[in-house]
Amino acid sequence: MNTPTPHIQAKQGDFAKTVLMPGDPLRAKFIAENFLENAVLVNEVRGMLGYTGYYQGNRISVMGSGMGMPSMGIYSYELFHFYEVETIIRIGTAGGMGDDVKLRDVVLGIGACTNSNYAEQYGLSGTIAPICDFELAVKAMETAKRLGIPVKAGNILSSDLFYDGGKGKEQWRDMGVLAVEMEANALYLNAIQAHKKALCICTISDHIFTGEALSSADRQTSFSDMMKLALETAIG
């Protein structure tokens, strides 16, 4: 096994079979400190903090992915291929695009559209549809219902651009895309290629067309819902 890797110092067995991945490594630290028991730091290379601990007696890891597809591409590839991780659940923020999508909404990315050429590497003679793991999505929907957390499920957009000059998003919205973030497409493609499981759960932190954005206090509560949903789905 190729461990440790250039980006992860953990040893074989340091990660649980399921890893939750926020973009922000400090969110990973927050989850480890507030939601996990007996959490142990397993990675800090490049400040990409990763922890393994227990949630209701179940072993779970949480690590930052960084921002954008190249970063998520590296970490999810190494976790799937070199650390025997079976499931990655991304927990991120996203910009709302759909007319029905409001601040604080929790969105499941069933499919991840993109403006990136990440899938070029597979040399396919057509266009692959990067989708989440179906069973994981069903489990998340059932868990959300049980916890009383409303969720919307559908296509999201994984964009290479955070600053895009405000152009081009209307067309995605008109095709029914609910929200924009920057990593799910690479995560789904890596999971599909490795025959593993992935799901992206997002909290809407701002709205692309109305310009509304959550205050930092609101973010904390809304993110708690998403983290609870991800943790309960992971152990479900």
Ligand X SMILES: O=P(O)(O)O[C@H]1O[C@H](CO)[C@@H](O)[C@H]1O
Instruction: Cite the annotated binding site for phosphate by residue number.
Output: 23, 27, 46, 90-93
- For 232, residues 6+ apart whose C-beta sits below 8 A from its C-beta are 143, 146, 147
Active site residue 24: no
> CA-CA distance, 85 to 211, in Å (whole number)?
38
Tokens of 46: 């490049």
CB of 205 to ligand URA, least distance (A): 5
Q: Which residues bind ligand X (CB under 6 A)?
A: 22-24, 67, 92-93, 162, 181-183
In the structure encoding, which two tokens stand for residue 206, read together? 């701002």
Q: Pick what 22 binds: ligand URA, ligand X, none; C-beta below 5 to 8 Å, kind-dependent.
A: ligand X
| Site size with ligand URA, rule: CB under 6 A | 10
Tell whether residue 182 is a contact of ligand URA (CB under 6 A).
Answer: yes
Closest approach, Cβ 159 to ligand X, in A, equals 8
Q: Please check whether residue 71 is in contact with residue 21, taking contact to mean a CB–CB distance below 8 angstroms.
A: no
Q: Find the catalytic residue in 24, 160, 206, 218.
A: 206
Q: Is 94 in the site for ligand URA (CB under 6 A)?
A: yes
The C-alpha atoms of residue 148 and residue 136 are separated, in whole angstroms, by 18
Q: Which one of residues 61, 205, 222, 233 is an interface residue with ligand URA (CB under 6 A)?
A: 205
Q: Is 122 in the site for ligand URA (CB under 6 A)?
A: no
CA 225 – CA 57 distance, rounded (Å): 20
Pick between residue 7 and residue 84 the one whose CB is nearest to ligand X.
7
Instruction: Name the residue number minimizing CB distance to ligand X.
Output: 23
Written as six digits, the tokens of 213 are 């954005």
Question: How many angstroms separate the CA atoms of 36 and 78, rounded?
Answer: 23
Classify residue 46 by its DSSP letter. G
Give the active site residues. 206
The contact set with ligand URA (CB under 6 A) reads 93-95, 162, 180-182, 205-206, 208
